[in-house]
Amino acid sequence: MLGFIGRRVLLTIPTIIGISIIIFLMVRLMPGDIIDVLFSGDVTATEEVKQQAREDLGLSGSYPEQYWNWASGVVQGDLGDSYRNTEPVSDVLLRALPITLELMILALLIAVLIGVPLGVISAVRRDSAGDYASRVGGLIGISIPNFWLATLLLLFTSRVFGWVPPLGHISFFDDPIGNLSQFVLPAISISVFTLAIVMRMVRATMLEVMSQDYVRTARAKGVRRRLVVYRHALRNALVPVVTVIGFEVGILMGGAAIVELIFGLPGVGYVLLQAIFNRDYPLVQGATLLIAVIFVLANLLVDIVYGWLDPRIVQE
């Protein structure tokens, strides 16, 4: 098992390097120029002044030179300084990261704790009223955009109950109730799609596993149905579901950006959108790289869980 984990960890290194190169090049291909943004409205700024500012910001060298300088700083934990307020990018992201992580964890908990039982019930009670209701609900959940659902929930709670989540960020350690009340609607908004995917995947894999010979043999030996379902069938059915959940982390990160903006949560997605609007290259690069690393690490964890659920993979 340790060798399996070691190989997976080593594979993440070239993956992250490749992602960093793509991020660097894509940021440089963004339309507009940060120098024009910084000097907008300043009619006294000459080309010499702008060129000096470009050199000060590290934008005067070739792309390989710029990438090497940036990547060297990243390895040392230095993501550069924001162009807009000269604050270290790492400080900005360290403030925003706990907000996004909490939002993602809550959304995953909602999706897994509701989606898995619904998928099992739908598979065990195939073609029943509950099965049809779960399948229709899953189709609706896949079809609803998270930003539309977020807006709808915000309007509904404000009009019907006269309540809106508090603005700004409330730390869980300072006020747990206030923190959860602030995150519940955003977490529901981005979890619905993942919940629907998990439910449909669990149902499909459970139906496949329930038709296997070892399940029928266990039932023929008199093993209780609930024991067969949860101890034998569900464990094997969760293997592809865990893989899907790993991929859903990227979708949750993308959905969190718009939802954070709607609810005024200063998370990584919110910071990234503001940085794109401001042409703040270091902040865009740092936030995008952070999101990519989280996605890679989530899939690394999925691989480890995958090997634990199915030991045959570790032996390959």
pLDDT digits (tens, 9 = 90+) for 256-281: 888 888 888 888 888 888 888 877 77
- What amino acid is encoded at 178 in this protein? G
State the Cα–Cα distance between residues 115 and 137, nearest whole angstrom.
Answer: 11
DSSP codes joined into one string, 50-85: HHHHHHHTT-SS-HHHHHHHHHHHHHTT---B-TTT
Q: What is the pLDDT of residues 186-214, one digit of tens each?
A: 889 888 888 888 888 888 888 877 776 66
Phi and psi of 81, rounded to 5°? -115, 145
Q: What is the pLDDT of residues 225-258, one digit of tens each?
A: 666 666 666 777 777 777 777 777 777 877 788 8
Q: What is the pLDDT of residues 86-131, one digit of tens each?
A: 788 888 888 888 888 888 889 888 988 898 888 888 887 877 887 7
Residues 145 and 226 sit within 8 Å (Cβ to Cβ): no
Q: What is the pLDDT of residues 69-90, one digit of tens each?
A: 888 888 888 887 887 777 888 8
Mean pLDDT within 146-166: 84
Which residue spans of the chain are classified as CATH 1.10.3720.10? Answer: 96-270
Q: Is the pLDDT of residue 150 over 60?
A: yes
Q: What's the number of CA atoms in the CB half-sphere (13 Å) around residue 43?
A: 0
State the Cα–Cα distance between residues 179 and 196, nearest whole angstrom.
Answer: 26
Residues 149 and 189 sit within 8 Å (Cβ to Cβ): yes
Q: Between these two residues, 232 and 174, which has the higher pLDDT value?
A: 174
Instruction: Give the global pTM.
Output: 0.79
Q: Which CATH superfamily is domain 96-270 in?
A: MetI-like (1.10.3720.10)
- What amino acid is encoded at 141 in this protein? G
DSSP codes joined into one string, 18-58: HHHHHHHHHHHTSSS-HHHHHTTT-TT--HHHHHHHHHHTT
Which pLDDT band holds residue 53 (cuts at 50, 70, 90)?
A: low
